[in-house]
Amino acid sequence: MLSSGFSMIGNLNQTLADHMIQRLATCGVVDGKNKDLALIQNSMNSNIILHHATVTRLRRERQNGHKSFILWFTGFSGSGKSTLAHCIEEILFLRGCRTYVFDGDNVRHGLCADLGFSAADRAENIRRIGELGKLFIDAGGIALTAFISPFRRDRERVRASVAPGDFIEVFCHAPLNVCEQRDVKGLYRKARQGEISEFTGISSPYEIPDNPEIIAMTGEHGVGECAGQIIEYLERNGKIPQSIVHRFQHQIVTR
Ligand SMILES: Nc1ncnc2c1ncn2[C@@H]1O[C@H](COP(=O)(O)OP(=O)(O)OP(=O)(O)O)[C@@H](O)[C@H]1O
Ligand SMILES: [Mg+2]
């Protein structure tokens, strides 16, 4: 029964197909007569039916000339998540990539305006961003997310919800005292004075990633160096094409 369901995702790459097979196997919902329909595993309503697009992720990726993925920046407030995410976006944009930065504060103004900073609200905040990221992957784009996302479990949940390689975790590694000295938004001062509760690093924990794809030493290295490291990772792992400079580097004759 499941194999009939695979035809509908024939245009997806193998990794994605494997992932979807797992999901379908879990809920066991593909109907032989109704090949184009599948019920959503996570939905609370069993009458909600997925409609499958003919313009698939793979086709979008081919048209865009790069892979789609989530570049997930995590770290203390002031560790450089937004700075780096926008810097990377600028570089990718200039190379013709389809990108968007989901920035913590911006998202909390709208989509997540109803959420506070309790552990439960933070978890829901990250869940929503994860779902946004997944849609963005499906749309063939590169989602750059800049959220403190202090809890390992919340980040890992997003990672587990996408195919292997689609979630690239960038740990912005700057010591708390450096971030506090920067105090870009003046929030550390307020937190120390007790004006803000549940502030990460002061009155709420930050759980360091166990095995992030990239550790950017944002406390000691400059923005350019950290950005270069990330771009290099994306090129090396085939997520974006190598830059013209890289491609022709071996042909450059120096005197
Ligand atoms: N290597 C680096 N990468 C990123 N930012 C850096 C780096 N070195 C210094 N900075 C500086 O650190 C500050 C980081 O501020 P930024 O707003 O990006 O932090 P954030 O992690 O997004 O914080 P928040 O969680 O509060 O939004 C900026 O002033 C930036 O110029
Ligand atoms: Mg920020």
AA letter at 213: E
Which ligand is nearest to the Cα of residue 188, counting in written order? 1
Whose structure tokens read 């949940």? 157
Q: What is the pLDDT of residue 173?
A: 98
Q: If you take atom 10 of ligand 1, which residue's CA is the nearest one?
A: 80
| Residue pair 216/172 in contact by the 8 Å Cβ criterion | yes
- Least trusted range by pLDDT, from 105-109, 179-183, 219-223: 105-109
The pair of structure tokens assigned to 66 is 């790069």
Q: What is the pLDDT of residue 171?
A: 98
Whole-number Å distance between alpha carbons of 127 and 121: 10
Q: What is the pLDDT of residue 47?
A: 84
- Least trusted range by pLDDT, from 79-88, 93-102, 239-248: 239-248
| Residue pair 199/148 in contact by the 8 Å Cβ criterion | no
Q: What is the pLDDT of residue 25?
A: 47
- Assess whether 174 and 124 both reside in one domain: yes
pLDDT band at residue 255, thresholds of 50, 70 and 90?
Answer: low
200 close to ligand 1 (CB < 6 Angstrom): no
The residue segments making up the domain with residue 111 are 61-236
Q: Can you list the positions of beta strands (E) in 82-237?
A: 99-103, 142-146, 167-172, 214-216
Residue 239 has pLDDT above 80, yes or no: yes
pLDDT band at residue 49, thresholds of 50, 70 and 90?
Answer: confident
AA letter at 205: P
| Residue pair 145/85 in contact by the 8 Å Cβ criterion | yes
- Assess whether 33 and 123 both reside in one domain: no
Whole-number Å distance between alpha carbons of 13 and 108: 34
185 close to ligand 1 (CB < 6 Angstrom): yes
Whole-number Å distance between alpha carbons of 230 and 232: 5
Q: Mean pLDDT in the chain?
A: 85
99 close to ligand 1 (CB < 6 Angstrom): no
In a domain, 149, yes or no: yes
- Assess whether 94 and 216 both reside in one domain: yes
pLDDT: which is higher, 160 or 245: 160
Q: For residue 204, indicate whether it is catalytic.
A: no
pLDDT: which is higher, 177 or 8: 177
Whole-number Å distance between alpha carbons of 115 and 45: 24
Residue 8 has pLDDT above 80, yes or no: no
Residue from 218, 220, 179 nearest 76 by CA = 179
- Assess whether 44 and 73 both reside in one domain: no
- Assess whether 115 and 230 both reside in one domain: yes
Residue from 67, 85, 62 nearest 15 by CA = 67
- Residues 51-75 have a mean pLDDT of 96
Whose structure tokens read 């809890």? 151
Return left, alpha or beta for 222; rule: phi > 0 is left, psi -120 to 50 is alpha, else beta. Answer: beta
Total structural domains within the chain? 2
- Residues 21-33 have a mean pLDDT of 42
Q: What are phi and psi of 69, to 5 degrees?
A: -170, 170
219 close to ligand 1 (CB < 6 Angstrom): no
In a domain, 252, yes or no: no
| Cα dihedral across residues 160, 164, 165, 166: positive or negative | negative
Q: What is the pLDDT of residue 163?
A: 97
| Residue pair 162/134 in contact by the 8 Å Cβ criterion | yes
- Assess whether 46 and 172 both reside in one domain: no
In a domain, 255, yes or no: no
- Assess whether 75 and 33 both reside in one domain: no
- What is the C-alpha end-to-end distance of the chain, expressed in Å? 66
Residue 23 has pLDDT above 50, yes or no: no
The pair of structure tokens assigned to 51 is 């409609």
Under DSSP, the state recorded for 1 is -
pLDDT band at residue 26, thresholds of 50, 70 and 90?
Answer: very low
Residue 82 has pLDDT above 60, yes or no: yes
- Least trusted range by pLDDT, from 4-13, 45-54, 186-195: 4-13
Whole-number Å distance, alpha carbon 96 to ligand 1 midpoint, is 25
In a domain, 74, yes or no: yes
pLDDT: which is higher, 25 or 89: 89
Q: What percent of the chain has pLDDT over 70?
A: 78
Whole-number Å distance between alpha carbons of 56 and 62: 10
Whole-number Å distance, alpha carbon 76 to ligand 2 midpoint, is 9
Whole-number Å distance, alpha carbon 207 to ligand 2 midpoint, is 18
Residue 155 has pLDDT above 60, yes or no: yes
- Least trusted range by pLDDT, from 31-35, 89-93, 106-110, 131-135: 31-35
Task: Please pick, among 149, 197, 203, 204, the residue that the annotation labels catalytic.
Answer: 149
Whole-number Å distance between alpha carbons of 158 and 151: 12
- Assess whether 116 and 43 both reside in one domain: no
Q: What is the pLDDT of residue 48?
A: 85
Whole-number Å distance, alpha carbon 194 to ligand 1 midpoint, is 23
